[in-house]
């Protein structure tokens, strides 16, 4: 059974496995419109009623992150609302989720990965949270990575913004498994098949219990978003790094 959402999000259902695929340019950047399509796809019965859900980017990569243009005023609040809803929907999906990662997995793309239950990456995948280089930070990462990865690992990812490879991602606990590029589809399919062989209601209850034992991320994310929107974006250099990126120049920080 196959159905296509409006635009660039596709939902495919084969037996108990649902696959949600997005495509948006060469870097699969999420703008607000694509996030809204993605949310709608995640609420479809083909997805919510599945045994397992695979999330994947079409083309050359998983996702290069969120649209830099949508980080600018007056669009940033709407983008934050859509992205928070996206992450919360993935986090709370009844079936377990598998991130199928290849190519670039950066910024908001990596935060989306971290909202999934399992992750399989190709050996050539690259990861990172480069927001700090643009003079901003990743709210979901700031709110959750210390709990998901440990405080030292979270600090290194968020303060340095340095890209890293799939082997390092596996060592840090960001992905479960790294496989050769030409084996990624088969590896994810085998993982999904294994999950689908188990009782659906047991899987759903297990996911609920695992989520319940984690510290609630959404109250912490509200704090991070407030700091970003009300404090960081109110400062003189609020958009300097973002505009410098779009203009392909080095940012000039007046506040140091």
Q: List the catalytic residues.
A: 111, 131
- Residue 138 φ/ψ, nearest 5 degrees: -95, 110
Q: Rounded to an integer, what distance in angstroms lies between the CA atom of residue 58 and that of residue 203?
A: 27
Pair 237, 253: CB distance under 8 Å? yes
Q: Rounded to an integer, what distance in angstroms lies between the CA atom of residue 63 and that of residue 35?
A: 12
Q: Rounded to an integer, what distance in angstroms lies between the CA atom of residue 46 and that of residue 50?
A: 6
- Residue 229 φ/ψ, nearest 5 degrees: -75, -40
Question: Going edge to edge, which strands form the sheet with 164-165?
Answer: 104-106, 126-128, 164-165
């Amino acid at each position: 059974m196959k159905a296509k959402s409006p635009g660039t999000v596709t939902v495919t259902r084969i037996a108990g496995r649902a696959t949600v695929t997005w495509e948006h340019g060469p870097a699969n950047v999420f703008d607000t419109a694509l996030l809204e399509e993605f949310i709608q796809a995640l609420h479809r019965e083909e997805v919510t009623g599945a045994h397992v859900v695979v999330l994947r980017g079409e083309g050359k990569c998983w996702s290069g992150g969120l649209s830099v243009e949508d980080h600018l005023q007056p669009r940033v609040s709407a983008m934050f609302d859509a992205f928070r809803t996206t992450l919360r929907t993935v986090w709370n999906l009844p079936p377990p989720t598998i991130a199928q990662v290849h190519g670039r997995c950066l910024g908001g793309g990596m935060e989306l990965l971290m909202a999934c239950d399992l992750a399989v990456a190709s050996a050539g995948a690259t990861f990172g949270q480069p927001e700090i280089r643009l003079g901003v930070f990743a709210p979901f990462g700031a709110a959750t990575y210390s709990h998901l990865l440990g405080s030292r690992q979270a600090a290194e990812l968020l303060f340095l913004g340095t890209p890293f490879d799939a082997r390092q991602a596996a060592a840090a606990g960001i992905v479960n498994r790294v496989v050769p590029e030409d084996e990624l589809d088969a590896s994810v399919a085998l993982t999904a098949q294994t999950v689908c062989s188990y009782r659906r209601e047991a899987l759903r209850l297990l996911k609920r219990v695992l989520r319940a034992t984690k510290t609630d991320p959404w109250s912490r994310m509200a704090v991070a978003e407030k700091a970003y929107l009300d404090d960081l974006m109110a400062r003189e250099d609020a958009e300097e790094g973002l505009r410098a990126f779009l203009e392909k120049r080095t940012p000039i920080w007046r506040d140091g």
